[in-house]
Structure 1
Amino acid sequence: MLTTPPTLLPADETARLHSLHSYNIVESLQEDVFDELVALLANLFRLPIAYVGLMEADQLSFKAAYGVPRQPAHPRASSLCALVVRHSRVVVYQDLAEAPQNSLDASAIQNSLAYQVRFYAGAPLRMPDHRTIGTLCLAGPQPREFSPAEQQLLEATAEIVSHAIAVRSHCRNSLNDRRWLEIRTQARDELYALGALVRYLSARYGSSTPVPEEILQPVMRRLRDLRTILQDYD
């Protein structure tokens, strides 16, 4: 296995890994709430690929993926998600083919281009202890502008994914898998409703990119309902 260069590691790497492993979610089975969420994002942003990635010491594992099969882990050093975790902030490449490369991102950019990925946007999964355990990402084969409003919505959705992971862990640690199933079902049903809203708004306002505010604002408001389902249990 390739070792991740120290320059790609955040200052809190040891504590970050401890946080990740405390949630017992790496290599877990697929769960519909995460699958539905990445499907919603791909449709909302008109992109073919969306996924939830969990960053281990030397590899990126996938909790959920849309547009590609659920893949085996990728080497951390060749993943753009490593930069999201390194900086604990949103990272956007509107056109990887035109992006200047440096010692931190050259390998990841070249690897992405080899897979015909030209656009990438990733937001950190920042947990209640403020550690970044992974990413919520969008990708596509064409260059694409990504507006500040789109970035805000991606960040808000990443916060919801982080909440869901924390709630899942809380329920499972208290031996209350039934409660997690109930919460997961409520959240999944809310995502179904959000998907219907996105389809309606897209039919009304068109499928241009960046996604217009007329679509983003109602979706952002509806995300508050999803957050409410989770907020009492994290």
Structure 2
Amino acid sequence: MTTDERARLAELESYDILYSAQEKLFDNLVELAAYIFSVPVARIAFVHEREVWHKASVGMPAQEALTLEQTLCTRAIVADEPVLVYADLSAEPAQDTATARERNIRFYAGVPVRTPRGFKIGTVCLAGYEPRELTEPEQGLLTQLADLVMLALEARRQLLTRDQTEAWQQLREEAEDTLHNQMAVVRYLKARSEGQVPVPAELLDPIARRLAEVAQVLKAGLPSVP
């Protein structure tokens, strides 16, 4: 194991997120991701030393652990591209995994969850059963979702390590309420677009503004987060 990988794993461990109970905020974020991008599968995954563990998931089991070889998320955190996209895995058999074949996954897109110190500890990823491109503006919004996951993780870590469990619960509930309200607006906007794929740019911009409002709630509750 390299020094960099040891440091990455230590950073992941510092968030005390592995094998934690499901939390509505993270569940809602993957639900929103699946809805925005009109995909059957969306997940928040953390890449540990020997396996990848899924904190939240739509379309596949949450709390699922897969070996490093079973998932594409291990590639997403080391890829040169900011967002790793496989538009059609059936056309790239060398890039496929046994799990993807077993679950009939053809489309995959994963963006790293990057800590403030620059370590890639996991991914927010999308998957589907049909070939699919992910446009550059869509990739930008997926990255914004990963940044929001990271902001929630940082708030969670800082408050819980200071024994401020009630403060984290209150902040999480406020963020959940804000996200719930924004999801209602997103559903309205998506209905107007009739579920177009790729997501129209004129829809991505207002969604991005609403995600920024959720981020502001988390930042306001924890001033030390930049």
Aligning the two structures, in what range does the TM-score lie when normalised by the shorter sequence?
over 0.9
Q: CA deviation at 1:142?
A: 0.8
Separation in 1, partners of 2:79, 2:129: 25
Task: Tell me which residue corresponds to 1:92.
Answer: 85
Separation in 1, partners of 2:99, 2:34: 22
Report the number of matched residues.
221
Match among 216, 223, 229 for residue 211 of structure 2 = 223
Give yes or no for the alignment of 1:68 onto 2:56: no
Give a deviation string over 1:111-151, Cα, whole Å, max 9, x none: 31221001111010001111111010111111112111100
Matching of residues 79-228 of structure 1 within 5 Å: 79-87=71-79, 89-99=82-92, 101=94, 105-106=95-96, 108=97, 110-228=98-216
Match among 8, 21, 25 for residue 13 of structure 2 = 21
Match among 53, 56, 79 for residue 48 of structure 2 = 56
SS in 1 for 2:61: coil
Give aligned-pair identity as a percent.
38
SS in 1 for 2:191: helix
Contact kept? 2:42, 2:126, Cα under 8 Å: yes
Moved more, 79-88 or 36-45: 79-88
Separation in 2, partners of 1:11, 1:148: 33
Separation in 1, partners of 2:92, 2:157: 38
Separation in 2, partners of 1:156, 1:99: 28
Contact kept? 1:205, 1:214, Cα under 8 Å: no
Give yes or no for the alignment of 1:37 onto 2:29: yes
Separation in 2, partners of 1:12, 1:190: 37
Separation in 2, partners of 1:205, 1:115: 29
Q: CA deviation at 1:183?
A: 1.1
Q: CA deviation at 1:215?
A: 1.4
Q: CA deviation at 1:61?
A: 0.4
SS in 2 for 1:87: coil
Give a deviation string over 1:45-74, Cα, whole Å, max 9, x none: 101111100110010001111122224310
Contact kept? 2:55, 2:63, Cα under 8 Å: no
Contact kept? 1:145, 1:209, Cα under 8 Å: no
The one-letter amino acid paired with 1:205 is: S
Separation in 2, partners of 1:148, 1:38: 20
Q: Which runs of 5+ in 1 are unaligned?
A: 1-5
Give a deviation string over 1:1-22, Cα, whole Å, max 9, x none: xxxxx7xxx8721100000001
The one-letter amino acid paired with 2:90 is: A
Q: Which runs of 5+ in 2 are unaligned?
A: none
SS in 1 for 2:78: helix
The one-letter amino acid paired with 2:71 is: S
Separation in 2, partners of 1:72, 1:34: 15
SS in 2 for 1:123: strand
